[in-house]
Amino acid sequence: MTLLAGIVALREGTEVAEDSRTQLIEALSRGGDKPFRFDSPNAFMVKVDIGAYGTPSLVDDGHATTMVVGDPLLPAGEHGTRDRGDDSRQLHSNFLMGRWALLAKARGTFAAVHLNRDTESLYLIADRLAIRPVYYWIGASHIVFASALRVLESLFYAVQPPYRVQDKR
């Protein structure tokens, strides 16, 4: 299964700890996978693509990164053909311009994440029925997200110390 996950700092000057990065890769990978990594001091995103669709579905232009899992099934381009790589590039281009209407034309099951470093914006996107969901948790200093709940659950303690509940009865 193709999966994505990430940890993004919510405040300027906050970084993603190295042990959190390592734990994210370990939680996402099931052995032998070679993940695509987006790495900066305040953001770390990983995508594992097993090649089921044949075409990679990520775009990084140096200013923004878009990762897609599943297949959006956008309408065919001007030449009557389409593939997942074209869909990812179309979505990335539209997201950069703040145009979200293209998502209404998607017919497939997919999830996506778009991180725009210029505007410091993070967008988590799921298909209409959230068949391919993006789970997320927002803490005091970071947002953690994943397209598989097991990944998010395993990362919780990587960025948030465990709470201690005391019964004062």
166 within domain boundaries:
no
Total Cβ atoms within 10 A of residue 95: 22
51 within domain boundaries:
yes
97 within domain boundaries:
yes
165 within domain boundaries:
no
Q: Residue 165: pLDDT above 70? A: no
Residue 111 CA to residue 47 CA, distance in Å, equals 12
40 within domain boundaries:
yes
pLDDT value at position 166? 46
Q: Residue 162: pLDDT above 50? A: no
Residue 41 CA to residue 151 CA, distance in Å, equals 21
52 within domain boundaries:
yes
pLDDT value at position 86? 87
CATH number at residue 49: 3.60.20.10
pLDDT value at position 131? 94
pLDDT value at position 78? 56
167 within domain boundaries:
no
The per-residue pLDDT for range 31-70, each reduced to its tens digit, is: 777 788 899 999 999 998 877 766 778 899 999 999 999 9
CB of 64 closer than 8 Å to CB of 114: yes
pTM over cut 0.75: yes
Q: Residue 159: pLDDT above 70? A: no
- pLDDT (mean) for 127-149: 92
164 within domain boundaries:
no
pLDDT value at position 77? 63
The per-residue pLDDT for range 77-123, each reduced to its tens digit, is: 655 566 778 899 999 999 999 999 999 999 999 999 999 999 999 99
Q: 112 pairs with which residues across the strands? A: 68, 125
Domain range for residue 47? Answer: 3-159
Q: Residue 144: pLDDT above 80? A: yes
For the chain, how many structural domains are there in total? 1
- pLDDT (mean) for 20-24: 89
